[in-house]
Copies of this chain bind each other. A is one copy, B any other.
């Protein structure tokens, strides 16, 4: 058992949340012929939604062979990726993310864009199902022939959700979607994860910057390429303008999220479909700026490199913390360290000696 966990022998498909899953010959019954991956890839490139959904299912699978199909497909499709603009959207609950995406996405689809909506919702790991990306929240957009909505992958670790969303984004690009919207709630590290895979990151806010900010996570504002004050309609309109100005004042003091780009605040009303076109213009301007300066290419390359190292660390962490000895001892050692009975160095040493050392 120790050996199995430690050296990750002969495939570790069972428990690693699809992070790394070498094929395991005896893992599944031979009930089905292996799929023709080249044919699927070809159809994805031609824009087949059916085959795209199939490919995503493979990517999202934790089973060894399906996982491997997904990786092979992705490998074949890699040259066809990277052409979309990748937009991250976050905001406190109630900021109107769904309504915004419904309104913004529909406008883009009507203009001939192909829009894929993905989501990262860490809470779905607990509930087992995702409220985000749910088609019932974006009824009009969901019906649009140019739109594709995929809920957050559910179950498994945040690392798994991270990988699946990132790889799904690439599949969508290969299928010809030219706008990717990745939505997230503000749970855990989800905004930082979305920021690490998008070109443009947008913070959706409500009126009343002061109070609003109090509820914002540390450092979030500094990730944003734009802050959009939503619900700027009716009696709220004036307050939204005031909030926008307050945000601009604060943004002035912060480091820019993107080199060569000045993050600003804007207002819109997703409900009334107002301000959507200006936001699209801002994103267009952003894209032009960062493409010309090389910042976009640099960012994407850095994101890919960081992602490789994130995967490595996730895998190391999973292998270690899932080792039976570690699972058995860790709480006790944490407690002893917190109580001042043992130094954390000694606790670490004792774990590594048992897990990796001779006995």
B-contacting residues of A (Cβ < 8 Å)?
A: 6-10, 19-22, 71, 74-75, 78-79, 81-82, 163, 167, 209-210, 213-214, 216-219, 222, 250, 252-255, 301, 304-305, 307-308, 311-313, 315-317, 319-320, 333-334, 337-338, 340-349, 351-353, 356-358
Contact = CB atoms under 8 A, between A and B. Distances in A.
B214 A348 contact: no
Contact of A356 (B7, B254, B349, B351): B7
Contacts of A22: 349, 353, 357
Contacts of A356: 6-9, 319
Contact of A338 (B252, B301, B346): B301
A338 B305 contact: yes
A253 B82 contact: no
Contacts of A341: 78
Nearest to A10: B358
B343 A71 contact: yes
B301 A7 contact: no
Contacts of A319: 356
A68 to B, nearest CB: 9
Give me the 8 closest cross-chain CB pairs, A-B, nearest first: A308-B344, A219-B219, A8-B356, A311-B348, A316-B316, A301-B338, A218-B222, A213-B253
Contact of A219 (B78, B213, B218): B218
Nearest to A347: B308
16 contacts: A7-B357, A8-B352, A71-B343, A74-B345, A79-B340, A167-B343, A210-B253, A214-B253, A216-B255, A304-B344, A305-B337, A307-B344, A308-B333, A312-B348, A316-B316, A316-B320
A44 to B, nearest CB: 15
A252 B333 CA distance: 39
Contact of A71 (B74, B219, B317, B346): B346
A284 B7 CA distance: 52
A351 B312 contact: yes
Contact of A20 (B19, B340, B348, B358): B348
Contact of A213 (B20, B82, B254): B254
A343 B20 contact: no
A233 to B, nearest CB: 25
A311 to B, nearest CB: 4
B219 A352 contact: no
Contacts of A348: 19-20, 308, 311-312, 315
A235 to B, nearest CB: 24
B345 A311 contact: yes
A163 B349 CA distance: 13
A296 B353 CA distance: 33
A337 to B, nearest CB: 5
* Residue from A7, A19, A307, A312 with most neighbouring chain B CB atoms (10 Å): A312
Contacts of A219: 218-219, 222
